[in-house]
Structure 1
Amino acid sequence: MKSTSSIFRIFLFLATLSFLGSCDKDSDTPITEPDLSAIEESLEVMQITEDMDYFTLTILQSIGINGRLMDDPFEKICAGVSVDVNSDQKTITIDFGDGCTSPSGIVRKGKITITYTQNFLLPGATVTTNFIGYEVNGLKITGVRTLVNQAIDLINNQVTLKVTMENGQVTWPDNTFVTFNTDQIRVVKLGATGYEISITGTANGQSREGAPYSSNVTSALVVKQDCVESGVLIPTSGVMDFTYEGFQLAIDYGQGNCDKTILISYPGGTKEITVD
């Protein structure tokens, strides 16, 4: 009996060592980092969108109630851009020609046409944007973008816009592309020194690899005009959830600094990246 008991204790001791060794081995297993390429593509799409909003708002704010331009602020968009307003047909044609470069280094080419029902500051106004051979830094943009004025707050000098993008596509020079659709609420606060936009809503589409993705803003994203004009075309604060290939990630844009650094959190890890 004594001999059998000793053998059992030795077996139990060895089994415990084996179990502990297995646990140590598991704890050393590196955390699987999700593929972040879809997020990087989504960030490029976002930068294109914010750039578009920048010059669209600049132009719309320059149109008086009578539908005519009150001033000519377009040199800061890019030198040589042509803006034609047809107040009778309520259309605006923005022609970047064969290419012009903004003060912050953004190269745009092609045309954008904007059709509006009335001055965008009036509730109920609808602004529809179409693209004709339009490119930003070599990326081709197609789709239809619609802004609808849902409310205006004269006390706080802000406009609430419902913004959708249908059949959006961004194509790279190698002919790979991202598709995207967005459904957002953008609260635009207008001030003497520029605008500030608070963004909530969702987006979905397919990556350049053909895999579906979706996103949802969980803490309002904030975009500031002075940051956009300096070349920072991403939000300065806010959080967005991003789902791709079975991973759910959180993209944190920071606490308001005008920079290109974001923090990506995923199950078991985080990664800080700088947006190009």
Structure 2
Amino acid sequence: MKISSLFRTYAFLFSLSVILFSCEKDPDTIVPEPDLSLVEDEFKVNTAMEDLDNLTLNAMEASGLGFRLESAFNGGLCSTAKLTHDIPTKKITVDFGTGCTSNGVTRKGKVIFTYTGSVLIPGSSVVTTFEAYEVNGLKIEGTRTITNTGINIQNFEITLAVKVQNGKITWTDGKTSSFNTDQVRKVSLTPTGYAASITGTGNGTSKGGTTYTAAITEPLIVTQSCVESGIWIPNKGKINFNYQSIVVTVDYGFGDCDKKLEITYPGGVKEVVLD
């Protein structure tokens, strides 16, 4: 009886150890890739916003209110875009009509800039609004405000506070997404045009209905030469997206003017080349 009881005890302990061992995490277990559609959609939204930033600087310069850029107003845009400057009301309107394409980007509708003074003057601001404006089929709505918060004359670097409020994107399938951003952009001139170093945060709701927050963890670098060659994403820097209880990091690289980036998520890494 004692031997039988002892055997049953050992058998129970052995079975328990098997169960506990099987519940331990296998280091080789592959974690499923989370839904990255939100992050991939954000690439397209950010592309539209960087295009808008380039358009703003070009429009202000063409009106004698900004940097002296290497390209003329239409250098990075389509030749049929029309700029109207109403000096008494301090309003600049860029009209793309029913649609025109340059550098692989198709724009239509109007972008309206209402300014207080030259973007080079500390304290001045530019408020951007839209009328039926689309970039590559994405309809953009909301208000974007740029405020000059300081200038470094020695390095000819301007610090701009950039806010997007009530931002809304209507996608080609009719779905919508919303976003707000609060950024600081340090813009300087280089031998090849302007360069912008961007920090800040954002939040929104994807077209799939997922809410998220975003934070730039390493400054995003955007250059005029890359933008006007058709590369509409940062060429350096990192941003974290937080949603559905996970953090996804997007790494834009080390400064190369390309469309390659790396997405790191819990359990894996994915390399992406944007269209």
The two structures have a TM-score, normalised by structure 2, of 0.91
Q: Are the aligned partners of 1:145 and 1:163 in contact in 2 as well (CA < 8 Å)?
A: yes
Relative to structure 1, the CA distance from residue 65 to residue 189 in structure 2 (aligned partners, 3 Å threshold; closer, same or farther) is closer
Is 1:202–2:204 an aligned residue pair? no
- The corresponding residue for 1:87 is 87
Query: Which residues in structure 2 correspond to 1:228-247 (within 5 Å)?
Result: 228-247=227-246
Q: Are the aligned partners of 1:222 and 1:237 in contact in 2 as well (CA < 8 Å)?
A: yes
Percent identity, aligned pairs only? 43
For each residue in 1:27-69, what CA deviation from the matched residue of structure 2 results, as whole angstroms up to 9, or x when unmatched? 5653132211111111111000000111211222233369xxx
- 5+ long unaligned stretches in structure 2: none
- The corresponding residue for 1:57 is 57
- 5+ long unaligned stretches in structure 1: none
Query: Which residues in structure 2 correspond to 1:8-23 (within 5 Å)?
Result: 8-23=9-24
Find the residue that maps to 1:50 and give its secondary structure: helix
Q: Are the aligned partners of 2:65 and 2:120 in contact in 1 as well (CA < 8 Å)?
A: no
Is 1:155–2:154 an aligned residue pair? yes
What RMSD in Å do the two structures reach over aligned CA positions? 2.1
Find the residue that maps to 2:49 and give its secondary structure: helix
- The corresponding residue for 1:40 is 40
Q: Give 1:79 deviation, angstroms.
A: 1.5
For residue 272 of structure 1, what is the amino acid of its counterpart?
A: E
- The corresponding residue for 1:106 is 105
Q: Give 1:237 deviation, angstroms.
A: 1.1
Query: Which residues in structure 2 correspond to 1:1-276 (within 5 Å)?
Result: 1-2=2-3, 4-23=5-24, 29-64=29-64, 72-102=72-102, 104-276=103-275
Q: Following the alignment from structure 1 to structure 2, what is the Cα–Cα distance between the partners of residues 65 and 176?
A: 37
Q: Give 1:8 deviation, angstroms.
A: 3.8
For residue 46 of structure 2, what is the amino acid of its counterpart?
A: M
How many positions carry a matched residue from both structures?
270
Q: Are the aligned partners of 1:63 and 1:119 in contact in 2 as well (CA < 8 Å)?
A: no
Find the residue that maps to 2:107 and give its secondary structure: strand
Q: Following the alignment from structure 1 to structure 2, what is the Cα–Cα distance between the partners of residues 206 and 8?
A: 57
For each residue in 1:113-171, what CA deviation from the matched residue of structure 2 results, as whole angstroms up to 9, or x when unmatched? 11111111011111011101111111111111100000011111111000001111110
For each residue in 1:233-271, what CA deviation from the matched residue of structure 2 results, as whole angstroms up to 9, or x when unmatched? 111111111011221111111111111122112222222
Q: Give 1:17 deviation, angstroms.
A: 4.1
Q: Following the alignment from structure 2 to structure 1, what is the Cα–Cα distance between the partners of residues 132 and 4?
A: 88
Q: Are the aligned partners of 1:41 and 1:178 in contact in 2 as well (CA < 8 Å)?
A: no
